[in-house]
Structure 1
Amino acid sequence: MAPPAGPGATAAPDAAMRALSSFRRRRLAMRGAAPPAWLISLATVTIALVAWIAATQAGLVKPLFLPRPGSVIGAFSNALDGRIDGAPLLDHVLASLMRVVAAFVLAALVGIPVGLATGLNPTLRAALDPFIEFYRPLPPLAYLPLVIIWFGIGETSKILLIFLACFAPVALAARAGVSAASVDQVNAARALGASRVQVVRHVVLPAALPDILVGLRIGMGVGWTTLVAAEMVAASTGIGQMVLNASNFLRTDIVVMGILLIGALAGAFEFGMRRLERRLTPWKGKV
Protein backbone atom coordinates (compact mmCIF):
# COMPACT_ATOMS: atom_id res chain seq x y z
CA MET A 1 0.00 0.00 0.00
CA ALA A 2 1.43 3.39 -1.03
CA PRO A 3 2.14 5.84 1.78
CA PRO A 4 -0.20 8.83 2.01
CA ALA A 5 0.88 11.86 0.12
CA GLY A 6 2.36 14.61 2.22
CA PRO A 7 1.64 18.34 2.00
CA GLY A 8 4.49 18.85 -0.47
CA ALA A 9 2.88 16.48 -2.98
CA THR A 10 -0.03 18.86 -3.63
CA ALA A 11 1.99 22.02 -3.12
CA ALA A 12 4.27 21.30 -6.09
CA PRO A 13 1.46 21.09 -8.72
CA ASP A 14 -0.20 24.17 -7.24
CA ALA A 15 3.05 26.11 -7.47
CA ALA A 16 3.52 24.99 -11.07
CA MET A 17 -0.01 26.06 -11.99
CA ARG A 18 0.48 29.46 -10.33
CA ALA A 19 3.77 29.95 -12.19
CA LEU A 20 2.12 29.00 -15.50
CA SER A 21 -0.78 31.35 -14.82
CA SER A 22 1.62 34.16 -13.97
CA PHE A 23 3.57 33.52 -17.20
CA ARG A 24 0.37 33.65 -19.25
CA ARG A 25 -0.66 36.92 -17.63
CA ARG A 26 2.75 38.45 -18.37
CA ARG A 27 2.58 37.27 -21.97
CA LEU A 28 -0.91 38.75 -22.44
CA ALA A 29 0.26 41.99 -20.84
CA MET A 30 3.21 42.13 -23.26
CA ARG A 31 0.87 41.56 -26.19
CA GLY A 32 -1.41 44.31 -25.03
CA ALA A 33 1.53 46.70 -24.65
CA ALA A 34 2.76 46.08 -28.21
CA PRO A 35 1.60 48.64 -30.81
CA PRO A 36 -0.80 47.48 -33.52
CA ALA A 37 0.63 46.06 -36.73
CA TRP A 38 -0.61 48.92 -38.92
CA LEU A 39 1.18 51.44 -36.72
CA ILE A 40 4.45 49.53 -37.00
CA SER A 41 4.08 49.37 -40.80
CA LEU A 42 3.31 53.09 -40.97
CA ALA A 43 6.36 53.87 -38.83
CA THR A 44 8.73 51.81 -40.98
CA VAL A 45 7.40 53.38 -44.20
CA THR A 46 7.77 56.85 -42.68
CA ILE A 47 11.34 56.12 -41.61
CA ALA A 48 12.22 54.85 -45.10
CA LEU A 49 10.67 57.97 -46.70
CA VAL A 50 12.54 60.30 -44.32
CA ALA A 51 15.81 58.47 -45.04
CA TRP A 52 15.16 58.79 -48.79
CA ILE A 53 14.52 62.54 -48.49
CA ALA A 54 17.53 63.08 -46.25
CA ALA A 55 19.91 61.09 -48.46
CA THR A 56 18.87 62.88 -51.66
CA GLN A 57 18.70 66.37 -50.14
CA ALA A 58 22.14 66.00 -48.57
CA GLY A 59 23.63 64.85 -51.86
CA LEU A 60 24.73 61.48 -50.49
CA VAL A 61 23.25 59.78 -53.55
CA LYS A 62 23.35 61.19 -57.07
CA PRO A 63 19.98 61.77 -58.76
CA LEU A 64 20.99 59.35 -61.50
CA PHE A 65 20.98 56.51 -58.97
CA LEU A 66 18.17 57.70 -56.69
CA PRO A 67 16.03 60.70 -57.68
CA ARG A 68 14.49 63.04 -55.16
CA PRO A 69 10.90 62.41 -54.10
CA GLY A 70 9.95 65.75 -55.67
CA SER A 71 11.30 64.56 -59.03
CA VAL A 72 9.26 61.38 -58.78
CA ILE A 73 6.13 63.38 -57.97
CA GLY A 74 6.87 65.64 -60.95
CA ALA A 75 7.25 62.61 -63.21
CA PHE A 76 3.91 61.30 -61.93
CA SER A 77 2.25 64.64 -62.71
CA ASN A 78 3.73 64.68 -66.22
CA ALA A 79 2.67 61.08 -66.81
CA LEU A 80 -0.91 61.90 -65.85
CA ASP A 81 -1.08 64.45 -68.65
CA GLY A 82 0.61 62.17 -71.18
CA ARG A 83 3.73 64.33 -71.46
CA ILE A 84 6.16 61.43 -70.94
CA ASP A 85 5.30 58.61 -73.29
CA GLY A 86 2.68 60.06 -75.58
CA ALA A 87 -0.26 58.52 -73.70
CA PRO A 88 -1.91 59.42 -70.38
CA LEU A 89 -0.90 57.39 -67.36
CA LEU A 90 -4.40 55.98 -67.09
CA ASP A 91 -3.97 54.30 -70.49
CA HIS A 92 -0.75 52.64 -69.32
CA VAL A 93 -2.40 51.46 -66.10
CA LEU A 94 -5.48 50.07 -67.86
CA ALA A 95 -3.37 48.23 -70.44
CA SER A 96 -1.23 46.58 -67.78
CA LEU A 97 -4.25 45.76 -65.63
CA MET A 98 -5.99 44.13 -68.59
CA ARG A 99 -2.99 41.90 -69.30
CA VAL A 100 -2.37 40.87 -65.70
CA VAL A 101 -6.03 40.31 -64.79
CA ALA A 102 -6.77 38.37 -67.98
CA ALA A 103 -3.75 36.12 -67.45
CA PHE A 104 -4.58 35.67 -63.75
CA VAL A 105 -8.20 34.71 -64.41
CA LEU A 106 -7.09 32.27 -67.09
CA ALA A 107 -4.51 30.76 -64.74
CA ALA A 108 -7.17 30.33 -62.04
CA LEU A 109 -9.67 28.75 -64.44
CA VAL A 110 -7.07 26.29 -65.75
CA GLY A 111 -4.68 25.87 -62.83
CA ILE A 112 -7.20 25.04 -60.09
CA PRO A 113 -8.88 22.15 -61.97
CA VAL A 114 -5.51 20.83 -63.13
CA GLY A 115 -4.15 20.99 -59.58
CA LEU A 116 -7.17 19.24 -58.11
CA ALA A 117 -7.09 16.58 -60.83
CA THR A 118 -3.39 15.85 -60.36
CA GLY A 119 -3.90 15.69 -56.60
CA LEU A 120 -6.73 13.18 -56.94
CA ASN A 121 -5.34 11.10 -59.80
CA PRO A 122 -1.77 9.75 -59.37
CA THR A 123 -1.61 8.73 -63.04
CA LEU A 124 -2.45 12.21 -64.25
CA ARG A 125 -0.02 13.67 -61.75
CA ALA A 126 2.77 11.44 -63.05
CA ALA A 127 1.96 12.53 -66.60
CA LEU A 128 1.83 16.31 -66.01
CA ASP A 129 4.22 16.78 -63.12
CA PRO A 130 7.45 16.57 -65.19
CA PHE A 131 6.32 19.35 -67.51
CA ILE A 132 5.10 21.65 -64.72
CA GLU A 133 8.18 21.12 -62.59
CA PHE A 134 10.45 21.60 -65.62
CA TYR A 135 9.18 24.98 -66.73
CA ARG A 136 8.23 26.32 -63.27
CA PRO A 137 11.76 27.51 -62.30
CA LEU A 138 12.48 28.93 -65.75
CA PRO A 139 12.50 32.75 -65.90
CA PRO A 140 9.91 34.15 -68.32
CA LEU A 141 12.64 35.86 -70.33
CA ALA A 142 14.01 32.42 -71.18
CA TYR A 143 10.95 31.35 -73.16
CA LEU A 144 9.82 34.83 -74.23
CA PRO A 145 11.46 34.46 -77.70
CA LEU A 146 9.60 31.19 -78.31
CA VAL A 147 6.29 32.71 -77.25
CA ILE A 148 6.82 35.61 -79.67
CA ILE A 149 7.81 33.27 -82.52
CA TRP A 150 4.79 31.01 -81.94
CA PHE A 151 2.11 33.61 -81.16
CA GLY A 152 3.41 36.85 -82.63
CA ILE A 153 3.92 40.23 -80.98
CA GLY A 154 0.29 41.02 -80.18
CA GLU A 155 -1.63 40.86 -76.93
CA THR A 156 -1.87 37.05 -77.07
CA SER A 157 1.84 36.54 -76.45
CA LYS A 158 1.87 39.06 -73.58
CA ILE A 159 -1.09 37.49 -71.80
CA LEU A 160 0.24 34.00 -72.45
CA LEU A 161 3.62 34.85 -70.94
CA ILE A 162 1.99 36.16 -67.74
CA PHE A 163 -0.38 33.18 -67.73
CA LEU A 164 2.50 30.70 -67.82
CA ALA A 165 4.13 32.49 -64.90
CA CYS A 166 0.90 32.41 -62.85
CA PHE A 167 -0.19 28.89 -63.75
CA ALA A 168 2.46 26.82 -61.95
CA PRO A 169 1.98 28.33 -58.42
CA VAL A 170 -1.81 28.03 -58.70
CA ALA A 171 -1.74 24.41 -59.93
CA LEU A 172 0.83 23.28 -57.37
CA ALA A 173 -1.04 24.96 -54.50
CA ALA A 174 -4.31 23.30 -55.54
CA ARG A 175 -2.57 19.94 -55.77
CA ALA A 176 -1.07 20.37 -52.30
CA GLY A 177 -4.45 21.39 -50.90
CA VAL A 178 -6.01 18.06 -51.88
CA SER A 179 -4.01 16.35 -49.13
CA ALA A 180 -5.71 18.60 -46.55
CA ALA A 181 -8.87 16.50 -46.84
CA SER A 182 -8.47 13.64 -44.38
CA VAL A 183 -9.28 10.05 -45.25
CA ASP A 184 -11.88 9.98 -42.48
CA GLN A 185 -13.77 12.90 -44.03
CA VAL A 186 -13.75 11.28 -47.46
CA ASN A 187 -14.87 7.90 -46.05
CA ALA A 188 -17.62 9.56 -44.02
CA ALA A 189 -18.94 11.31 -47.12
CA ARG A 190 -18.89 8.09 -49.10
CA ALA A 191 -20.64 6.23 -46.29
CA LEU A 192 -23.43 8.80 -46.48
CA GLY A 193 -23.87 8.03 -50.17
CA ALA A 194 -21.94 10.93 -51.71
CA SER A 195 -20.77 10.47 -55.28
CA ARG A 196 -17.21 11.18 -56.40
CA VAL A 197 -18.22 14.61 -57.70
CA GLN A 198 -19.97 15.42 -54.41
CA VAL A 199 -16.92 14.31 -52.43
CA VAL A 200 -14.72 16.62 -54.48
CA ARG A 201 -17.16 19.52 -54.23
CA HIS A 202 -18.15 19.26 -50.56
CA VAL A 203 -15.07 17.68 -48.96
CA VAL A 204 -11.92 18.05 -51.05
CA LEU A 205 -12.52 21.55 -52.42
CA PRO A 206 -13.33 23.22 -49.06
CA ALA A 207 -10.31 21.51 -47.48
CA ALA A 208 -8.06 22.66 -50.33
CA LEU A 209 -9.47 26.20 -50.46
CA PRO A 210 -6.92 27.80 -48.06
CA ASP A 211 -4.02 26.43 -50.11
CA ILE A 212 -5.70 27.45 -53.36
CA LEU A 213 -6.10 31.03 -52.15
CA VAL A 214 -2.45 31.14 -51.11
CA GLY A 215 -1.50 29.86 -54.56
CA LEU A 216 -3.64 32.56 -56.17
CA ARG A 217 -1.90 35.23 -54.11
CA ILE A 218 1.50 33.91 -55.13
CA GLY A 219 0.39 33.64 -58.75
CA MET A 220 -0.84 37.24 -58.77
CA GLY A 221 2.50 38.42 -57.40
CA VAL A 222 4.41 36.45 -60.02
CA GLY A 223 2.14 37.89 -62.69
CA TRP A 224 3.07 41.45 -61.74
CA THR A 225 6.78 40.58 -61.74
CA THR A 226 6.40 39.17 -65.27
CA LEU A 227 4.58 42.26 -66.55
CA VAL A 228 7.74 44.14 -67.53
CA ALA A 229 9.04 41.15 -69.48
CA ALA A 230 5.68 40.76 -71.24
CA GLU A 231 5.66 44.41 -72.31
CA MET A 232 9.21 44.39 -73.63
CA VAL A 233 8.20 43.60 -77.20
CA ALA A 234 5.97 45.82 -79.39
CA ALA A 235 3.95 47.32 -76.55
CA SER A 236 2.74 50.87 -77.16
CA THR A 237 1.15 51.23 -73.72
CA GLY A 238 1.70 49.69 -70.32
CA ILE A 239 3.54 50.51 -67.12
CA GLY A 240 6.32 48.07 -67.94
CA GLN A 241 6.75 49.57 -71.40
CA MET A 242 6.91 53.07 -69.87
CA VAL A 243 9.58 51.96 -67.38
CA LEU A 244 11.65 50.28 -70.10
CA ASN A 245 11.56 53.35 -72.32
CA ALA A 246 12.56 55.57 -69.42
CA SER A 247 15.49 53.30 -68.55
CA ASN A 248 16.85 53.69 -72.08
CA PHE A 249 17.15 57.45 -71.46
CA LEU A 250 18.36 57.08 -67.84
CA ARG A 251 15.18 58.72 -66.51
CA THR A 252 15.36 57.15 -63.08
CA ASP A 253 12.60 59.43 -61.80
CA ILE A 254 10.16 57.79 -64.23
CA VAL A 255 11.58 54.35 -63.43
CA VAL A 256 11.06 54.84 -59.69
CA MET A 257 7.58 56.24 -60.34
CA GLY A 258 6.69 53.15 -62.41
CA ILE A 259 8.10 50.83 -59.75
CA LEU A 260 6.07 52.53 -57.04
CA LEU A 261 2.96 52.37 -59.22
CA ILE A 262 3.37 48.67 -59.92
CA GLY A 263 3.98 48.05 -56.23
CA ALA A 264 0.86 50.01 -55.27
CA LEU A 265 -1.33 48.10 -57.73
CA ALA A 266 0.12 44.74 -56.64
CA GLY A 267 -0.36 45.71 -52.99
CA ALA A 268 -4.00 46.59 -53.65
CA PHE A 269 -4.59 43.19 -55.24
CA GLU A 270 -2.82 41.48 -52.34
CA PHE A 271 -4.99 43.35 -49.84
CA GLY A 272 -8.11 42.29 -51.74
CA MET A 273 -6.97 38.67 -51.87
CA ARG A 274 -6.35 38.66 -48.12
CA ARG A 275 -9.81 40.06 -47.48
CA LEU A 276 -11.27 37.39 -49.75
CA GLU A 277 -9.28 34.71 -47.95
CA ARG A 278 -10.60 35.81 -44.55
CA ARG A 279 -14.16 35.81 -45.91
CA LEU A 280 -14.01 32.43 -47.67
CA THR A 281 -11.93 30.57 -45.06
CA PRO A 282 -12.82 32.04 -41.66
CA TRP A 283 -11.77 28.80 -39.99
CA LYS A 284 -8.15 29.03 -41.18
CA GLY A 285 -5.74 29.07 -38.26
CA LYS A 286 -8.50 28.29 -35.75
CA VAL A 287 -8.79 24.53 -36.11
Structure 2
Amino acid sequence: MWWLATSGLRLLNPLRLPAPAEVWVAFQQINGRGYAGATLIEHALHSLGLVARGFAVAIVTGVPLGLLMGWSRRAEALVNPIFLLLRPIPALAWIPLAIVWFGLGDTGKVFVIWLTAFVPSVINAFSGVRQVDTILIAAARTQGASTAQVLRHVVIPGAMPMIFTGLRLSLQASWTTLVAAELVGAFFGLGRVLNIAGQDIYPGMILVGMAAVAVCGAGTTWLLGLVERRVLNWRPAV
Protein backbone atom coordinates (compact mmCIF):
# COMPACT_ATOMS: atom_id res chain seq x y z
CA MET A 1 0.00 0.00 0.00
CA TRP A 2 2.87 2.36 0.82
CA TRP A 3 4.58 1.63 -2.50
CA LEU A 4 1.32 1.96 -4.46
CA ALA A 5 0.46 5.30 -2.85
CA THR A 6 3.91 6.76 -3.57
CA SER A 7 5.77 5.05 -6.43
CA GLY A 8 3.03 3.02 -8.09
CA LEU A 9 0.03 5.33 -8.42
CA ARG A 10 1.80 8.51 -7.22
CA LEU A 11 -1.19 9.55 -5.13
CA LEU A 12 1.00 11.33 -2.59
CA ASN A 13 3.57 14.05 -3.01
CA PRO A 14 7.05 12.60 -2.25
CA LEU A 15 7.75 15.65 -0.07
CA ARG A 16 4.87 14.56 2.17
CA LEU A 17 5.49 10.82 2.20
CA PRO A 18 8.65 9.45 0.56
CA ALA A 19 8.63 6.22 -1.40
CA PRO A 20 10.19 3.07 0.09
CA ALA A 21 13.13 3.41 -2.31
CA GLU A 22 13.88 6.92 -1.01
CA VAL A 23 13.83 5.71 2.57
CA TRP A 24 16.20 2.88 1.65
CA VAL A 25 18.61 5.35 0.04
CA ALA A 26 18.51 7.49 3.18
CA PHE A 27 19.12 4.39 5.33
CA GLN A 28 22.16 3.44 3.23
CA GLN A 29 23.48 7.01 3.43
CA ILE A 30 23.34 7.27 7.23
CA ASN A 31 24.84 3.79 7.61
CA GLY A 32 27.60 4.53 5.12
CA ARG A 33 29.06 8.02 5.18
CA GLY A 34 26.78 9.14 8.01
CA TYR A 35 24.37 12.00 8.49
CA ALA A 36 24.19 14.85 10.99
CA GLY A 37 27.71 14.12 12.17
CA ALA A 38 27.57 10.35 12.75
CA THR A 39 26.27 7.01 11.50
CA LEU A 40 22.91 5.58 12.54
CA ILE A 41 24.50 3.17 15.03
CA GLU A 42 26.45 6.00 16.67
CA HIS A 43 23.35 8.18 16.94
CA ALA A 44 21.30 5.29 18.34
CA LEU A 45 23.93 4.32 20.91
CA HIS A 46 24.18 7.91 22.09
CA SER A 47 20.41 8.14 22.51
CA LEU A 48 20.32 4.75 24.26
CA GLY A 49 22.93 5.97 26.70
CA LEU A 50 20.93 9.07 27.56
CA VAL A 51 17.73 7.09 28.09
CA ALA A 52 19.52 4.47 30.19
CA ARG A 53 21.03 7.11 32.48
CA GLY A 54 17.85 9.12 32.94
CA PHE A 55 15.74 6.00 33.41
CA ALA A 56 18.17 4.53 35.95
CA VAL A 57 18.15 7.70 38.03
CA ALA A 58 14.33 7.72 37.90
CA ILE A 59 14.23 4.15 39.23
CA VAL A 60 16.68 4.89 42.04
CA THR A 61 14.82 8.03 43.14
CA GLY A 62 11.20 7.52 42.11
CA VAL A 63 10.49 3.97 43.27
CA PRO A 64 11.83 4.43 46.84
CA LEU A 65 9.95 7.72 47.17
CA GLY A 66 6.72 6.09 46.00
CA LEU A 67 7.20 3.20 48.43
CA LEU A 68 7.87 5.63 51.27
CA MET A 69 4.78 7.71 50.48
CA GLY A 70 2.64 4.60 50.23
CA TRP A 71 3.87 3.16 53.51
CA SER A 72 4.03 6.31 55.65
CA ARG A 73 1.08 8.70 55.92
CA ARG A 74 3.43 11.28 57.41
CA ALA A 75 5.78 11.08 54.42
CA GLU A 76 2.81 11.35 52.06
CA ALA A 77 1.55 14.45 53.87
CA LEU A 78 5.00 16.01 53.64
CA VAL A 79 5.96 15.15 50.05
CA ASN A 80 2.64 14.90 48.21
CA PRO A 81 1.83 18.65 48.16
CA ILE A 82 5.19 19.41 46.54
CA PHE A 83 4.78 16.50 44.13
CA LEU A 84 1.27 17.62 43.14
CA LEU A 85 2.56 21.15 42.55
CA LEU A 86 5.37 20.07 40.21
CA ARG A 87 3.59 17.17 38.51
CA PRO A 88 1.41 19.23 36.09
CA ILE A 89 4.48 20.97 34.64
CA PRO A 90 5.42 19.15 31.41
CA ALA A 91 8.97 17.85 31.37
CA LEU A 92 9.54 19.63 28.05
CA ALA A 93 8.92 22.94 29.82
CA TRP A 94 12.10 22.29 31.80
CA ILE A 95 14.28 22.13 28.66
CA PRO A 96 15.11 25.89 28.54
CA LEU A 97 15.95 25.87 32.24
CA ALA A 98 18.01 22.68 31.84
CA ILE A 99 20.02 24.40 29.11
CA VAL A 100 20.63 27.38 31.41
CA TRP A 101 21.65 25.10 34.29
CA PHE A 102 23.67 22.44 32.46
CA GLY A 103 24.45 23.90 29.05
CA LEU A 104 24.01 22.07 25.74
CA GLY A 105 25.69 18.85 26.90
CA ASP A 106 24.14 15.55 27.85
CA THR A 107 23.54 16.37 31.52
CA GLY A 108 20.58 18.60 30.76
CA LYS A 109 18.99 15.94 28.56
CA VAL A 110 19.44 13.29 31.27
CA PHE A 111 17.83 15.69 33.73
CA VAL A 112 14.78 16.18 31.52
CA ILE A 113 14.46 12.43 30.89
CA TRP A 114 14.68 11.83 34.63
CA LEU A 115 11.87 14.31 35.26
CA THR A 116 9.66 12.52 32.75
CA ALA A 117 10.37 9.03 34.04
CA PHE A 118 10.23 10.06 37.69
CA VAL A 119 6.50 10.79 37.87
CA PRO A 120 5.10 7.41 36.67
CA SER A 121 7.57 5.51 38.83
CA VAL A 122 6.51 7.42 41.95
CA ILE A 123 2.77 7.18 41.28
CA ASN A 124 2.77 3.45 40.51
CA ALA A 125 5.02 2.54 43.42
CA PHE A 126 2.73 4.54 45.71
CA SER A 127 -0.38 2.85 44.28
CA GLY A 128 1.24 -0.56 44.50
CA VAL A 129 1.88 -0.20 48.23
CA ARG A 130 -1.64 1.04 48.88
CA GLN A 131 -3.10 -1.96 47.02
CA VAL A 132 -1.30 -4.54 49.17
CA ASP A 133 -3.84 -6.49 51.21
CA THR A 134 -3.79 -5.19 54.78
CA ILE A 135 -4.73 -8.66 56.01
CA LEU A 136 -1.37 -9.96 54.77
CA ILE A 137 0.43 -7.16 56.61
CA ALA A 138 -1.51 -7.88 59.81
CA ALA A 139 -0.80 -11.60 59.49
CA ALA A 140 2.93 -10.95 59.14
CA ARG A 141 2.92 -8.72 62.20
CA THR A 142 1.00 -11.37 64.14
CA GLN A 143 3.78 -13.84 63.35
CA GLY A 144 6.30 -11.42 64.88
CA ALA A 145 7.66 -9.84 61.70
CA SER A 146 9.44 -6.53 62.13
CA THR A 147 8.65 -3.47 60.02
CA ALA A 148 11.68 -4.16 57.82
CA GLN A 149 10.59 -7.77 57.32
CA VAL A 150 7.03 -6.73 56.48
CA LEU A 151 8.36 -4.30 53.88
CA ARG A 152 10.80 -6.79 52.40
CA HIS A 153 8.63 -9.89 52.31
CA VAL A 154 5.07 -8.54 52.00
CA VAL A 155 4.79 -4.92 50.87
CA ILE A 156 7.49 -4.67 48.20
CA PRO A 157 6.68 -8.04 46.52
CA GLY A 158 2.99 -7.14 46.59
CA ALA A 159 3.68 -3.75 45.01
CA MET A 160 6.02 -5.12 42.31
CA PRO A 161 3.38 -5.58 39.55
CA MET A 162 2.37 -1.92 39.84
CA ILE A 163 6.01 -0.84 40.09
CA PHE A 164 6.83 -2.54 36.79
CA THR A 165 3.76 -0.99 35.20
CA GLY A 166 5.17 2.38 36.21
CA LEU A 167 8.59 1.47 34.84
CA ARG A 168 7.12 0.58 31.44
CA LEU A 169 5.32 3.93 31.34
CA SER A 170 8.50 5.69 32.45
CA LEU A 171 10.57 4.02 29.75
CA GLN A 172 8.12 4.94 27.00
CA ALA A 173 7.97 8.53 28.25
CA SER A 174 11.78 8.63 28.35
CA TRP A 175 12.02 7.98 24.61
CA THR A 176 9.39 10.58 23.82
CA THR A 177 11.19 13.19 25.90
CA LEU A 178 14.61 12.22 24.56
CA VAL A 179 13.67 13.04 20.98
CA ALA A 180 12.18 16.37 22.04
CA ALA A 181 15.23 17.21 24.16
CA GLU A 182 17.61 16.33 21.32
CA LEU A 183 15.75 18.59 18.93
CA VAL A 184 17.36 21.50 20.76
CA GLY A 185 21.10 21.80 21.21
CA ALA A 186 22.15 18.21 20.48
CA PHE A 187 25.38 17.23 18.72
CA PHE A 188 24.52 13.54 18.37
CA GLY A 189 21.44 11.37 18.76
CA LEU A 190 18.31 10.33 16.92
CA GLY A 191 16.61 13.59 17.82
CA ARG A 192 19.40 15.46 16.02
CA VAL A 193 18.88 13.27 12.96
CA LEU A 194 15.20 14.23 12.92
CA ASN A 195 16.02 17.90 13.49
CA ILE A 196 18.61 18.14 10.70
CA ALA A 197 16.46 16.09 8.31
CA GLY A 198 13.56 18.45 8.94
CA GLN A 199 15.76 21.47 8.20
CA ASP A 200 17.05 19.79 5.04
CA ILE A 201 13.48 18.85 3.99
CA TYR A 202 14.61 15.23 3.73
CA PRO A 203 11.49 13.09 4.34
CA GLY A 204 13.30 9.82 3.72
CA MET A 205 15.79 10.50 6.51
CA ILE A 206 12.96 11.63 8.80
CA LEU A 207 11.32 8.22 8.42
CA VAL A 208 14.65 6.50 9.03
CA GLY A 209 15.04 8.46 12.27
CA MET A 210 11.49 7.68 13.35
CA ALA A 211 11.97 3.98 12.61
CA ALA A 212 15.21 3.96 14.62
CA VAL A 213 13.43 5.49 17.61
CA ALA A 214 10.67 2.89 17.31
CA VAL A 215 13.16 -0.01 17.16
CA CYS A 216 15.18 1.27 20.11
CA GLY A 217 12.05 1.90 22.16
CA ALA A 218 10.64 -1.54 21.38
CA GLY A 219 13.97 -3.20 22.15
CA THR A 220 14.36 -1.57 25.56
CA THR A 221 10.73 -2.35 26.42
CA TRP A 222 11.36 -5.99 25.51
CA LEU A 223 14.42 -6.09 27.78
CA LEU A 224 12.40 -4.59 30.63
CA GLY A 225 9.77 -7.27 30.03
CA LEU A 226 12.43 -9.97 30.42
CA VAL A 227 13.49 -8.46 33.74
CA GLU A 228 9.86 -8.25 34.87
CA ARG A 229 9.19 -11.91 34.05
CA ARG A 230 12.32 -12.94 35.93
CA VAL A 231 11.53 -10.85 39.02
CA LEU A 232 7.82 -11.74 39.03
CA ASN A 233 8.29 -15.41 38.21
CA TRP A 234 5.56 -16.29 40.71
CA ARG A 235 2.91 -14.72 38.50
CA PRO A 236 1.00 -17.01 36.11
CA ALA A 237 1.97 -16.60 32.46
CA VAL A 238 -0.52 -14.68 30.36
* Pairing 1:192–2:143 present: yes
Please give the per-residue CA displacement for 1:85-133, whole angstroms capped at 9, x wherever unaligned.
Answer: 2312221111101100010011001111000001011222122223333
Give yes or no for the alignment of 1:55 onto 2:37: no
Following superposition, the deviation at residue 248 of structure 1 comes to: 1.1
Q: Does 1:177 align with 2:128?
A: yes
Instruction: Quote the residue 1:245 is aligned against.
Output: 196
- Contact 2:55/2:171 (CA < 8 Å) preserved in 1? yes
How do residues 1-287 of structure 1 correspond to structure 2 at under 5 angstroms?
51-57=1-7, 58-284=9-235
In the alignment, residue 163 of structure 1 is paired with which amino acid?
A: W
Listed one character per residue, the Cα deviations across residues 121-164 of structure 1 (whole Å, up to 9, x for unaligned) are: 12221222233333334333212111211222221111000000
3-state SS of 1:255 partner = helix
Task: Name the % identity.
Answer: 37
**Does the CA-based 8 Å contact 1:82-1:89 persist in structure 2?**
no
Is the 2:6–2:19 contact (alpha carbons within 8 Å) kept by the matching residues of 1?
yes
Gap regions ≥5 residues in structure 2: none
Q: Structure 2 CA distance, aligned partners of 1:118 and 1:233? A: 35
TM-score, length of structure 1 as denominator length: 0.78
Q: Output the CA distance in 1 between the equivalents of 2:23 and 2:51.
A: 25
Alignment length (residue pairs) = 236
CA offsets 1:224-279 (integer angstroms, 9 cap, x no match):
00012221333211011111111111111111111111011111112222233233
- The 2-side partners of 1:126 and 1:284 are apart by 33
Which digits, 9 at most, give the CA deviation of each residue in 1:198-221, with x for residues without a partner? 111110000000000010000000
Deviations 1:29-61 (A, max 9, x none): xxxxxxxxxxxxxxxxxxxxxx22221121111
Partner SS, residue 145 of structure 2: coil
TM-score by length of 2: 0.93
Structure 1 counterpart of 2:54, one-letter code: A
Distance 1:133 1:76 in 2: 44
Listed as ranges, the gaps of 5+ residues in structure 1 are 1-50
Bigger radius of gyration among the two: 1
Q: Which range moves more in the overlay, 124-133 or 201-210?
A: 124-133
Q: Which has the higher contact order (CA 8 A, sep 6+)?
A: 2
